[in-house]
Amino acid sequence: MTAATDLDKVAADLFIWQAYDRAAKSDLFSSAIVTRNGIFVIDPIPLRKAPFAQLHQHGVIAGVVITNANHLRASGQFAEQLSVPIFAHRAAFPDTMAGQFSQLADGDKICDELHVVGIDGAAPGEIALHFASGDGTLVMGDALINFQPYGFTFLPGKYCSNEEEMRRSLRKLLTCKTERMLFAHGLPILSKASDRLRQLLDGDL
């Protein structure tokens, strides 16, 4: 997997990085959230030494979060290198359990600022993360995407375990105050993300 060469700061406590993956034939995105409990990296792809050092300037990395079974990516390398736990739904590891694994479920908190929302019907072990700081940020796995030619929309049905269930489950996100939305596949939405999400979900009724 190609290592990202740049770290982009999208808010005071939010960072993303991306690289093209030949196997997936698309750009993969990773994110990092700076909390009072440390930095949590989400669905990490490799990051070159200089941007990694840049991220580390903002605090100690406290853990790795995986949003579904398809996003193991470089999580094992990050966790081993930094001696930190991997947070994920149990279904994200259907075959082999990761070392230093911390299991997540809908409604859990990783820390006071970082809440877990389970999304049924998407990829196995699908979760979203809500970060309350700064008017709120949602970090998505696969259930919502934002890249061309699709734009901001749902995960295509052929990749869902139950497309209708996923779309119903996504409505839980409307209870989260959300200014921004970050994606594992696509560019971030940096303002009025709640409005965009409600428009998408209401259009699906």
Task: Tell me the mean pLDDT per 10 residues along the chain, length 205.
Answer: 94 96 88 97 97 96 97 94 95 77 95 97 97 96 94 96 97 97 97 97 80
Half-sphere exposure of 143 (CA within 13 A, CB side): 34
Paired strand residues for 13: none
> pTM for this one?
0.95
pLDDT of residue 100: 83
CATH topology of domain 8-202: Metallo-beta-lactamase; Chain A (3.60.15)
Domain ranges in the chain are: 8-202
**Are the CB atoms for 40 and 110 separated by under 8 Å?**
yes
